[in-house]
Amino acid sequence: MERKSSKLEQRQHSELEAQLHTQTAPAGTAFESVDGLLRHDAAQTALPPQLEARLAQSIENTPPPARSWWQRLLGSG
């Protein structure tokens, strides 16, 4: 019985995605660059809460970048 419900859920999910896609980005949408396309997609896509929490934790644990050789040489920064 679980298998049928998961197939049904997958079908509903794909139909919902198709509806959202047609509502948010018409077929004639053109982007100036790949970056514009990615920004548009990121603005339309919500992250799952678990992934968002993991990403926030990962960003917090990232060490600051090392000073470049010229900053070390000149003693600035």
pLDDT tens for residues 14-56? Answer: 777 776 665 555 567 888 899 999 999 989 999 899 999 999 9
pLDDT, position 47: 87
pLDDT, position 26: 59
Q: For 68, list phi and psi in degrees, rounded to 5.
A: -75, 165
Look up residue 61 and give its amino acid.
N
pLDDT band at 2 (very low <50, low <70, confident <90, very high): very low
pLDDT band at 11 (very low <50, low <70, confident <90, very high): confident
Helical segments of the chain, H only: 2-24, 34-44, 49-60, 69-74
pLDDT band at 1 (very low <50, low <70, confident <90, very high): very low
Domain extent for 19: 1-26+35-57
pTM above 0.85, yes or no: no
Query: Does a structural domain hold residue 10?
Result: yes
Query: Does a structural domain hold residue 65?
Result: no
Say how many domains are in the chain: 1
Q: Residue 37 in contact with residue 31, Cβ under 8 Å?
A: yes
